[in-house]
Amino acid sequence: QTILVTGAAGFVAAHVMNSFLEKGYKIRGTVRTEKSADSVRKSHSKYADRLSFVFVQDIAASGAFDEAVKGVDGVIHTASPFILNVEDSERDLLIPAIKGTTGVLEALAKNNPDATRVVITSSFASIIDMSQGYRPGYTYSEADWNPATYDEAKADNGGFAYCASKCFAERAAFDYVEKNKPTFSVATICPPMTYGPIAHTVASMDKLNTSSADIWRFMNGTTEEVPLTDFCGFVDVRDLADAHLRAFETPEAANQRFLVTGGNYSYQKVCDVLNALPGLGEGKVPVGKPGTTPEGEVYKYDTSRAKEVLGMRFRGLEECVMDTAESLLGLEKAM
């Protein structure tokens, strides 16, 4: 079987492709440039004979996926801008997130009668109500939707707009299915902050993807204080990739969304793990107040659907952060 993976040069996509390739699937990846295709050929050279590429310059362009979807058995749509500081949130976040998603579905309906399932990388951003802060005593689940409005999102150019872009895109996918009753089904995966080893090609340490940079800033000597945590949940990217594979292969996952997380975490806990690691260089990692939770009590997560329907199990924070750190140090050395 051949799977189309959009945004193939990205952090999450690299692991998603590994999960499918390890099981024997063929991957057709969408990338913007020949250089990106080369970078994936390099990072996934072990599977060169089962990798091919299609160029999609801009996922928001109409008909962008018309050629890419032809003949594939399913699609994993990971491509979406994950940038927390943009000039124009409509142009840079909302439109590519929404049109990228509906574009994949429309292209399939038009050009591919055989594909069975589309798995979309959504986000906990699509679930959280940002106006409620740390929301002690509350448990988020798939029943929750980020209540941001389009106008609010358009007026913001940071994290709020990014979160809204993910929510509008995911809603648009389920709305499309409800309205058009396509022959394929959709499943969405909603991860919070995603950390873990790097499996894609990184040009330089200042070009890391947003969530890896979120850990690297605690390792490279640029961060003196431990900040308050933005989103209080994490997932290991290897588990996230596995969730995509399972959501593709599990018939019961049809038209459902899945919250996937290894649980609560804080930047303090990340720094505690990093500070216990040898080899990071004295005094580089901020210390803060080890063993404390500066945020106090925060919202929790209900992951029972991912566990029951997909059979998911999740790595803990320590393993995830240690493997992230090891990978980032190795990457820096190799630069």
Q: Which residues bind ligand NDP (CB under 6 A)?
A: 7, 9-13, 32, 36, 56, 58-60, 78-82, 96, 121, 123, 166, 191, 193-194, 209, 211
Using CA atoms, how far apart are residues 260 and 216, in angstroms rounded to an integer?
23
Nearer to ligand NDP, 114 or 230 (CB): 230
To ligand NDP, the closest distance from the beta carbon of 115 in angstroms equals 20
| Catalytic residue, candidates 23, 70, 166, 181 | 166
Nearer to ligand NDP, 84 or 280 (CB): 84
To ligand NDP, the closest distance from the beta carbon of 60 in angstroms equals 6
To ligand NDP, the closest distance from the beta carbon of 97 in angstroms equals 8
Encode burial over 38-53: b for 16+ CB neighbours within 10 A, e otherwise: ebbeebbeebeebbeb
Contact by Cβ (8 Å): 130, 146: yes
Nearer to ligand NDP, 61 or 276 (CB): 61
Single-letter amino acid, residue 4: L
Using CA atoms, how far apart are residues 258 and 141, in angstroms rounded to an integer?
9
The candidate with the shortest Cα–Cα distance to 78, out of 313, 248, 250, is 248
To ligand NDP, the closest distance from the beta carbon of 13 in angstroms equals 6
Nearer to ligand NDP, 172 or 287 (CB): 172
What residues contact residue 24 under an 8 Å CB cut-off, 6+ apart?
none
Using CA atoms, how far apart are residues 122 and 166, in angstroms rounded to an integer?
6
- Catalytic status, residue 154: no
Cα distances from 254 to residues 15, 132, 188, 321, in angstroms, run 22, 31, 9, 32
Show the CA angle centred on residue 1, arms to residues 75 and 115, nearest 5°: 45
To ligand NDP, the closest distance from the beta carbon of 243 in angstroms equals 12
Closest CB to ligand NDP belongs to which residue? Answer: 10
Q: Containing H/E element for 264? A: strand 263-264
Nearer to ligand NDP, 57 or 183 (CB): 57
Task: Give the sheet arrangement for strand 263-264, strand by strand.
Answer: 193-195, 233-236, 263-264
Q: Which residues are catalytic?
A: 166
